[in-house]
Each structure stands twice: as structure tokens, then as C-alpha cells.
Structure 1
């Protein structure tokens, strides 16, 4: 179920376009030593295969902070935090803050199904049409490319809008380029990104192929605001999260000093010139090397793994957020059909037929973050989040996908105790 297009390609594009350099080249600290893995939360004995998989994965890759949550048929069964304590960081473990099951992580592109759900809720409420053109909704000019008028809400949701980051680069990661092109000071905002992109031709005819586009999802966020009359974050919290009891999730900020209570620290060996001002200061890539608020609808949410498996229950059956028609539309095949792997991109989810049902999944990746969430046709779902991503070699931490699948397959008897009330 791995989506290979959202790992290595993204990372290489970011490094190439943002001018990143290894932190070690700037005299950063060497690798940590004498690490000890500390855990928190609940693991029923029936699900020890999941816990052992995560422990091995984290230890082998020297990951500092991680979480895992597992649910089945509407019940949360496992919620676990993992933190690697190292005496290299602090000689006294009393000052080490362990990762809890509800600690917050940047979840990157696991934000996309949240945004797509908000769009479908507006459609469900009769306030928006999936066939509405983005030019009409946001008042965008198609002068630079008349094909922009063919970009609809649905095509944005399914990455069919006409932007290909392999050709014109990812607009959400071009802060310095956009600032210079528009002669506007850093930090740039959504309006600047839209003005830059709208003034340039599309890379392909809308609706003819799928090319993963963060920019397309950023536009969906602006549509949500325009149609609802609310901020993107407020709409999601009030119409999507509150009805299912998810209260911790919020949008993230750029700097370590702006971290939310309970939010983990992020690590990367890369640095970048800050995008928050024009000083040219070199900063750790996760903290000012990109503009977190600009990522909102395409990759800006903070959440815990248990929050994400709880919210994913929205798609199991009609409920207070979406009805069955809306859920079906989110998982429907796009106009271009399925890809060579038999899967397709719906509304913020990769989808594949599995027996009489479907499997849906997605990953997320940015400097200091990797996340993965899957919903299986047998009613099992799981989410893993990490405070860094792979930065060389293999395509991110996508390998966690089959490993967690194997852990699920190793379960011979599923526990019945529901942990939902413990965390919500």
C-alpha cells in the first residue's frame, strides 16, 4: 500500500529547490550514543506484534520520538508513545520528557484527508459543488493559462489540477523564489503563493493525469474559508473534529518557541535559510526553514496517532460529519481511472479494492516528520508518526507500511477493551 510518489521524490525536490545543506557541514553535533527506548501507554498482550515492530523500527533507525495507535471496528485498542532517551542530550533522565500517547506531532500530508472531508461537508450542506471552477470560487484570472478555468474542486481533491512539482516545483516550498519574483518581503503568505502560481502556465491539461500537488490542497483551504466564512482551522475544528470528540488537534507553527503544549521536538540533519524574514540566517530546517502556517490545508496539522485513528472512524459509516453519499464520493475513482498498481487517489486518501471492500491509506513527510495512516477492509486501522524522516537512501519511512500490515496479520485474537474513553 505504499505511495512511492510522496517520499523520495518530495525530499529530493525540497533539497534541490530550498538550497538545504547538511547540518553536519555547519558543525552540528555528532550522532547520539547510549540511547534508551522509553515507552508509555497501553499495549494489550494480543497486540504485542505491533509494539515489537515499532520498537525494532525505532531502534534500528535511531528515531527520537514516535507514536502508534491501532483501532478495530470503532474501538481504539492500542495507544503507545515511544521516546529515545540519550545521555548525550541530558545526563539526568529526570529532565527527559517522555512521549505520551497524546503528544502532538506535525503530521504533514495526513492533513489532506481532513481538508477533503471539510470540502465534502460543505458539498453535503449544499454550500459548494465539486464541479465549481477554482477561478470562479476564488476570483482567479486565467489570463496566464486559459486551462485554469477547467480546474474544479474535485480535480483539486484528486490531484488532477494541472500542476506538476516535477516540472514547475512545489509552490509551497519556494518562499525565497516567490519573494524575489514578486518583490515582496518574507514571510510570504497564501495570497503571494497564489499570485505567483496563477501568473504561470499549468504543466498539463487539467483532468488528464494525476500529479501530487500540495498547492492544489492549499487552494482547497482557501475555498473552505471563502465558502464557509470561517478560518480554515475554525471550520475544521467546529464542523469536523468537535462532533467526534477530537479536541487536541490544531495547526502548527514554524518555530520551536511557538510549539504547542505537549508537542514533540523535530530533528533533521539539514538546515536552510530562514523563510520567516530576509535576514538570511541559517536555521534548523524544521524550525523556520519552511513556513508551517502556509502548509495548513495541505500539511499543517498537529495531532497524535490516536487522534488520527479516532477521526478516521468518520469514514467507516454515516455519522455526525459525513453521510454515506459523501463518504462514497471521497473514495470514488477519478476520471483518469486506476493506476498501474490498481489504486487511485480519492479525496485525501489512496484507495485500492480489497476483496469486497477497500483499503485506504496515506503518508506524510516534511523535514522533521514522517507519518502513516491506513484503514483496512477488515475494520483494522493504524497510524504511526515519527519526529524525523529518512533523509538519504530509502524513500522515507514508507517501509513501516508493510511491517505494520504484517503485525496486523500476526494477531490471532483481537482484544475487546475499548480505550477511547481513556484518551477522549
Structure 2
């Protein structure tokens, strides 16, 4: 067997009509939190989701961690189906843009250690030319973190999803890498003046990943694993891969009805969108991590107060209001989190979405946090997924008594 091969599985095929909502869970649900399990089951049944997870924590303790459904495993050498595995609380999912607060925490750790300043310009840090637009010199680390950098994906399109265009324009072969994406974008003018408004930018976070690697002297992945994840006991998380034959048997398969031309080679082959329709290694700092819901609620505790990763000053600067971009509802984009004052503190949340993936994480009042992960997202003709925010918000709000048993030692 190859390096990533797994043995044949002694589990039966999942019936075509089965969904995660109709299958048993791998963990018991505390009676006090049954309302959350019920809400999850209804949500995933309505959408025909095959694989899902949820984890709930409160005041530093993981109180609920559930895997729903099963997922397909293939032989990495041949691509042949080996069978189905049950989703466990530690099964890995692509987390998409839940990667962004991880990247922002890495930036703040470098600032905390005196290796970087939030005011440093990206042109200096990465040696970028501002010939195409002198305003590029005004793009700082902080503005990248707060999505104030000057790129609007509705105007110029998201360069993280323009592999064929970039390869053709630069006359370079597929697959392209970060350097090609940066060359392509830097040769074009910004869409707006840096700092003048907030526009969500995957590209800005991709640049933060390159800054982290350049300043730390490590790869982006290695820095995050050593300086952020290891200190809080998280060992499962890693950067994802593009193809189903490249992932381990501990990671779910991703479901989508869409196909597209592959970007991982020049074959022109039409592939399922989640497997070669985009380049996962290029998504790293903006959306490339894989992990479990328990990993995400555990990492969210980094922002609860001073600890082995960030001090109070770093947390405060990461979540602070930006120079512009506060919405009518009073929320703003901090470092990889949407943020809003709840009167006594801050609520933070974020969703993630890419073909075959939808994710959501929130940290709310009373020290409660929760994360839900799914192996598909909304597509044409299917129900929306954004309502997971109010669905879980109502369920958490309906809890009248919280369990005290800490499940953390089971997973870390």
C-alpha cells in the first residue's frame, strides 16, 4: 500500500436513502443539551447531509461532541471505494474560512514576539512592486486582517479561484502556486483605496500566510502547528489536499453536484468540483485547514483570555474595531472573526464555504462556544445553509441548565 493507504473496511455501504439525521451518533448527548442535538438533526435532515459534526463548550469545558452519519473512503493508490466509516467527533473536515482567525492569531503571535508590526506594509514584507498602483504601499498587516486592503472580489473576481485565467495570462503551467497568484494580482490596480471600506478578501488572507512564512522562517503550516496548535494540545489539524486520493481515511468525503475543469494539472479533465476544481494548497491561510469541531472550539478558547498562545493585549488588538466598516447592526470584521458587542463583552462568529463544505463557529455570551461542520453546501435547487447561525443560536438560548462533565480529556 502507498503512504496514505488504508486497509479494506469491514463496514457496509451506506444506504442511498440514509442521511446523517437518520443514523446513530458516536457519542451520547447530555440530556441538558438535547435541544441542540434535535436542532442539528432537523437541519441536516432538511438538507440531506451525509456527514456532520457539532461540538459545544462553555467556560473552557467541552460539553458536547457529536459526529453524525458516515463518509466514503477510497484507496489512495487506485481511487477504488473501500467502504464507509462512521463520522466521529474527531473526524476531519475542510473548515474553509474558519481558517482565517487561525491565521490572524498567528499574525498576532508574531507581533507579540516582536517579529512583526501591524503597521508594516505588505510591499516591504513581501518585496512587492507598487508600479501598477502606488496605493499598494498603504496596505498594512492590520488592513489585511480587517479586510481593508483594497481588493473587491465582486469587481475583479477572487484570484484564489482563477487558476486557468492566471496560468493563461502568465503563460505558466498548472497547477499554479502562490507566487503566480501574487504576480497576477500585483500587476493590476486595486479596486478601492486601502482603509476606505471593508470588503471580504480571501486574497488578503493568502498574503498574510506568506507574511507569516517569511517573517517566521518556517512554512505557514509549521508555524501554526508549533506556535498555536501544539501549545493548546491540538494535534489533528493540518492543511488539506485537493484530491480524494490524497486525503486520509480520517477525513470525510465532500459532496457536490457540480463539476468543473481540473486546476491541479493541464489535462483539461472534468472533475467533481470538490476534488480538483480548486487548489487546496493555495487556500491555506484563507481557507485551507482541515480539523474537527472539537478542535475548533478548543482553539476558540485561545481568544477567551491570556494563555500560552496570545496575551490580553494581542487578543484585544485582534478583535478591535477597524478604522472603517462597522455595519448598521454594530458588527465589524476583526482578525478573522465577525465581532459585535453584547453589552458585557464580545460575540464573535464566522462561517466557511467552498464546494463540498459548509462550516460555522461562534463564541457568545456566558462563555458558550459551538462549531458545526458539514460535508456539503447549498447548491442550485437545494435549501440554504446560512440559517445554521440562528438555528444553533436559538437552540443554545433554549438551554436552561448546563452539564458539568468536561469531555475535553476524551479528545486531547
TM-score, normalised relative to structure 1: 0.89
Task: Answer yes or no: is the 8 Å Cα contact 1:250–1:301 preserved in 2.
Answer: yes
Show CA shifts across 1:249-299 (max 9, x none).
Answer: 000000000012400000001011000111110000000000000000000
Task: Answer yes or no: is the 8 Å Cα contact 1:38–1:85 preserved in 2.
Answer: no
Consecutive unaligned residues of structure 1, counting only runs of 5 or more, are: 1-30, 87-93
* Corresponding residue of 2:77: none
Q: Aligned match of 1:374 in 352, 362, 369?
A: 362
Q: State the aligned residue count.
A: 387
Q: Aligned match of 1:180 in 149, 168, 174?
A: 168
* Corresponding residue of 2:5: none
CA displacement at 1:39 relative to structure 2: 1.4
Query: Following superposition, which runs of at least 4 residues in structure 1 exceed 2 angstroms of deviation?
Result: 31-38, 392-396
Q: Aligned match of 2:88 in 100, 108, 111?
A: 100
CA displacement at 1:342 relative to structure 2: 1.0
User: For 1:39, what is the secondary structure of its paired residue?
Assistant: coil
Mean Cα displacement is larger for which, 31-40 or 149-158? 31-40
CA displacement at 1:84 relative to structure 2: 5.5
CA–CA separation in structure 1 for the residues paired with 2:18 and 2:386: 27
* Corresponding residue of 1:263: 251
CA displacement at 1:85 relative to structure 2: 8.2
CA–CA separation in structure 1 for the residues paired with 2:331 and 2:389: 16
Show CA shifts across 1:356-410 (max 9, x none).
Answer: 1110000000000000000002100000000000013688511011111111111
CA–CA separation in structure 2 for the residues paired with 1:395 and 1:220: 34
CA–CA separation in structure 2 for the residues paired with 1:353 and 1:342: 8
CA–CA separation in structure 1 for the residues paired with 2:170 and 2:16: 43
CA–CA separation in structure 2 for the residues paired with 1:77 and 1:419: 6
- The CA RMSD over aligned residues, in Å, is 1.5
Show CA shifts across 1:143-183 (max 9, x none).
Answer: 00000000000000000000000000001000000000000
Task: Answer yes or no: is the 8 Å Cα contact 1:38–1:84 preserved in 2.
Answer: no
TM-score, normalised relative to structure 2: 0.92
User: For 2:191, what is the secondary structure of its paired residue?
Assistant: coil
Q: Aligned match of 1:68 in 49, 54, 77?
A: 54
Show CA shifts across 1:196-230 (max 9, x none).
Answer: 00000000000000010000000000000000000
Q: Is residue 2:119 matched to residue 1:126? A: no
CA–CA separation in structure 1 for the residues paired with 2:336 and 2:365: 17
